[in-house]
């Protein structure tokens, strides 16, 4: 590789790394507790348990009525389940209206065996939620999310340029070489290069999946204005459903019958962000760790209880949903979480060592320039003194 080409790649690597490093450090630090989100959440808040697992489950309508009785005068926005981690529990979101902002939501955890309220946590940011929102959007909403996507793209370019530079460098040395007899800067350079290549695959997977995830909001909006609008076009001239809605349990049974190989995960009520003004949007998922990220919505007429449409999500949303477990490493159990955490820590060392090398290089150049100026001044003074003699 020509010297000029290497210099160009070096500049690309340096500037893409420098611009993105501070934000990547924030992502690595906030991402570390998120790998163990459920374990930390259980430790902080305790584990809620429903009634004895042998007891029969009540109708979802009965459980939902128990939630609405707890906070009268509210409307249902969302309902979801997590049978793997929270069996026998139903999570209900209530608010003044379907259009109410998330800050006004009320959350209830219901026992599906007794319709009793197990928990009613306050709507506030705790430690794990702060870590989550810092990680995904820097507490700045969609602009923050898209900005982090840009930083992720720079990170990917930095990885590619680092790999391009690694080949010519390692032609002269053995793999894994650390020049312990050299200066601290060279030792850190060798460690930076070694850890960078060791974490290459992990960093690429997490970086690419992270960039993809930042596009979730625009992608969902595109789906809502496109495919969802087409599916409910027959209702476009009808007013929003009001008053008593059809049975929630019947809607779930209808969706389950339409996709028997899947299970119900989430229900969006009429008028909410993830439904139309006329339907229950019942979101079905697969039953394996990976297919559980494949979401298929069933639209149930909220007045008649009839299934009006059921269609796979578009490819771009499937890509985003599938990329999420690869980003957080939460589909392979505790061993994979530990591995993800280890690579996260190694990446932090790579980022910190990169910053150190930049500052050390600047300091070395400044010292070299100072010596050159001093030598020139000394030479000039000697010449003047010799001329004076």
What is the per-residue pLDDT across 36-49, written as a single tens digit (0 to 9) for each?
Answer: 988 887 787 666 66
CA distance 79 to 74: 14
Rounded (10°) angle between helices 60-70 and 248-258: 140
pLDDT at 45: 67
CA distance 379 to 372: 10
pLDDT at 111: 95
pLDDT at 240: 83
**Residue linked to tokens 């053995």:** 174
SS3 state at 278: coil
SS3 state at 54: coil
CA distance 105 to 22: 34
| Mean pLDDT value across the chain | 87
pLDDT at 97: 92
**Residue linked to tokens 């760790």:** 289
Which whole-number Å values give the CA distances from 364 to 100, 185, 351, 368, 371, in the listed order?
Answer: 58, 10, 20, 6, 11
pLDDT at 349: 94
Structure tokens given for 307? 């299934």
**Distance linking the first and last C-alpha atoms of the chain:** 54
**Among 123, 103, 118, 101, which residue's Cα sits nearest to residue 67?**
118
Burial class (CB in 10 A: 0-12, 13-18, 19+), 7: exposed
Structure tokens given for 38? 């459920």
CB atoms closer than 10 angstroms to residue 376? 10
331 vs 263 pLDDT, higher one: 263
**Among 215, 187, 201, which residue's Cα sits nearest to residue 314?**
215
Burial class (CB in 10 A: 0-12, 13-18, 19+), 152: buried
In eight-state DSSP terms, residue 225 is: I
Averaged over 267-284, what is the pLDDT?
A: 93
Instruction: Determine which of 111-115, 174-178, 233-237, 334-338 has the lowest per-residue pLDDT on average.
Output: 174-178
Burial class (CB in 10 A: 0-12, 13-18, 19+), 308: middle
pLDDT band with cut points at 50, 70 and 90 for residue 328: confident
Averaged over 236-253, what is the pLDDT?
A: 90
Does residue 162 surpass a pLDDT of 80? yes
């Amino acid at each position: 590789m020509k010297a000029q080409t290497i210099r160009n790649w070096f500049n690309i690597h340096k500037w893409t790394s420098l611009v993105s490093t501070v934000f990547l450090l924030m992502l690595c630090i906030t991402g570390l507790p998120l790998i163990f989100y459920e374990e930390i959440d259980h430790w902080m808040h305790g584990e809620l348990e429903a009634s004895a697992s042998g007891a029969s489950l009540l109708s979802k309508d009965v459980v939902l009525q128990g939630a609405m009785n707890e906070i009268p005068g509210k409307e249902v926005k969302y309902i979801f389940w997590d049978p793997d981690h929270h069996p026998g529990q139903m999570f209900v979101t209530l608010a003044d209206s379907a259009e109410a902002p998330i800050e006004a939501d009320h959350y209830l955890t219901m026992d599906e065996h007794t319709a009793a309220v197990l928990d009613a946590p306050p709507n506030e940011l705790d430690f794990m939620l702060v870590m989550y929102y810092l990680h995904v959007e820097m507490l700045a909403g969609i602009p923050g999310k898209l900005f982090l996507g840009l930083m992720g793209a720079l990170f990917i370019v930095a990885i590619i340029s680092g790999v391009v530079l690694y080949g010519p460098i390692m032609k002269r040395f053995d793999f894994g070489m650390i020049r312990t007899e050299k200066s601290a800067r060279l030792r850190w350079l060798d460690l930076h290069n070694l850890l960078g290549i060791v974490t290459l695959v992990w960093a690429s997977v997490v970086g690419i999946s992270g960039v993809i995830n930042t596009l979730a909001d625009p992608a969902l909006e595109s789906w809502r204005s496109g495919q969802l609008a087409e599916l409910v076009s027959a209702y476009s001239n009808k007013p929003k459903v009001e008053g008593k809605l059809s049975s929630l349990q019947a809607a779930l049974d209808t969706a389950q019958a339409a996709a028997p190989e899947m299970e119900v995960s989430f229900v969006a009520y009429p008028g909410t962000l993830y439904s139309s003004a006329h339907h229950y949007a019942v979101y079905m998922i697969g039953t394996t760790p990976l297919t559980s990220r494949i979401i298929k919505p069933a639209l149930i007429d909220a007045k008649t209880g009839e299934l009006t449409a059921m269609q796979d999500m578009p490819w771009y949303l499937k890509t985003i949903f599938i990329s999420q477990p690869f980003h957080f490493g939460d589909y392979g159990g505790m061993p994979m979480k530990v591995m993800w955490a280890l690579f996260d820590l190694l990446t932090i060392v790579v980022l910190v060592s990169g910053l150190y090398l930049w500052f050390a290089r600047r300091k070395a150049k400044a010292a070299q320039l100072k010596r050159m100026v001093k030598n020139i001044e000394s030479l000039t003074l000697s010449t003047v003194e010799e001329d004076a003699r």
